[in-house]
Amino acid sequence: MIELNGSLSLDDVVEVACNGEQVTLAADAATAMEETRRVVESVIETNEKQVYGLNTGFGKLQDVAISRENLERLQENIIRSHAAAVGDPAPTPVVRAAMLSRANTLAAGRSGVRPALVEQFLDLLNSNIHPLVPLEGSTDDLGANGHFGRVLLGEGRVEYQHEEMDAAEAFADAGLEPLSLAPKEGLSTLSGTPIMTGLIAIALDELERLLTAADAVAALTFSLIGNCPETFAERVVAERPQEGHQTAAQNVRRLLSDDVGIESMEQDPLSLRLIPQLHGTTRMQLENARNVVETELESVTDNPLVYPDGELVSCGNFNGQPLAESADQLARSLTKLAEASDQRTHKLLHSDNVPAPFLADEPGLESGLMIAQYTATGLVNESRLLDSAGDHSVIVSGGQEDVHSMGTIAARNLHTVMENVALVIAIELLTAVQFASLADDPPLSERLTALVDVVSEDVPLPNGDVHLHDKIEAIAELLRDGTIQSVIDAEE
């Protein structure tokens, strides 16, 4: 059981989002929420000042005063009007991560909302009622947030017990009641960065496994066609002590056989020689994104903020620029890693010691793995177009909202790039395993031999020209689900 109090770890998010861990609101957090809720209720009662989103309209309509009798309706209206995103629903783990992130921000006690709002989020999570949240069309998170906001009211569509249904039907089955929003609670549900935080958090969990697997695949390729393993030597990487470089070099070094390479000054192509630098830099960007997300999980991303001393402060904490830029940088670095993987695949198909052109059984009559490399190249080029969402902005709401992070787009793009990179590395692994199967006594360590065996057993190698789609997808899943990492991490 995880207690929410405004502070979450990335591991907490993964446990709830992916493993179904239950969540409750900490008692001290509920007390803090009640304290700032009294501030909001005092503003409503005295009716002496206008506070954005509490008793005014939104965006360009902020100058429109809202009467006391319409304050609750205002909150329901903003939820309904903002549920305007389009496209396919987000994956369930992303939705769960987003709901948890939003509930946690509200539990910090700086939004002026009731504990009942957080408890409604947690009831949905604990009952496995998951709003269907489309992700396209959000400049920050507003549009997407509106869709899970509707479900708090018992409206919209959800996924429940592996079926799509109306929220009202799921509520009835789970014994839940729709929530009536109090003043400010609709705005606080919509503000902030829960969707992009959830998207990136789920990506980081998968990328930890993918990058370790990428090091192993690169080590396998190097064992087959590399010449100078000194590029991974501890003394070499110590001369440039970038932490990520050292980790990547160590991962490769522990997998190589003593028989790999030759003692010469022959320089390998850069896609082989720069494995520590390219893979290591991606690890550094991964760590940067992790730091940004973990900070976000301990932040209050709302506007306006409410303090126990009675102050309500307008701010920009809802903006997702830190997340957008970290997602873009990580996507850019992953794409560079994929470029190198694609080039290593090319070298496996065309090296001086390749067992057969394109690793075909009967070259000419058969094309072997020729077109698999085309696929990798296409995926790399697609990824190059997906790493700069946060560089752009738009002007909306009559010019009142004239800068946007595009963080949801950047986070969605990161997922697309991650999937592309997994497929590119899968193609390298397929090619390397096929190379090893055709080569005469390849110099593989015990761990790399085990890697080849696991792939060969799970995904039978091509025998003649075959349909490669299913093999590539199956190997990519071995990379994603930790199978490859577990082989590499196993005790010798």
List residues with catalytic annotation: 52
Residue 194: asked if its preceding bond is cis (omega within 30°), the reply is no
Torsion of CA 325, 331, 336, 339, to 10 degrees: -160
CB 297 within 8 A of CB 313: no
As a whole number of Å, the end-to-end CA separation of the chain is 36
CB 472 within 8 A of CB 421: no
CB 298 within 8 A of CB 8: yes
CB 158 within 8 A of CB 131: yes
Q: Where do the H-state alpha helices sit in 20-114? A: 27-46, 71-82, 92-107
241's CB contacts (< 8 A; 6+ apart) are none
Pairing of strands 129-131, 134-136: unpaired
> Which tokens is 36 given?
């700032």
Cβ density class 87-110: b for 16+ within 10 Å, e for less: eebbbbbbbbbbbbbbbbbbbbbb
CB 387 within 8 A of CB 120: no
Pairing of strands 86-89, 157-160: unpaired
At residue 258, the 3 state secondary structure works out as: coil
At residue 292, the 3 state secondary structure works out as: helix
CA distance readout (Å), 348 to 258, 261, 281, 418, 439 = 21, 15, 24, 23, 11
Amino acid residing at 325: E
User: Taking Cα atoms as reference points, which of 391, 390, 401, 392 lies closest to residue 323?
Assistant: 390
Torsion of CA 39, 45, 47, 50, to 10 degrees: 40
CB 181 within 8 A of CB 76: yes
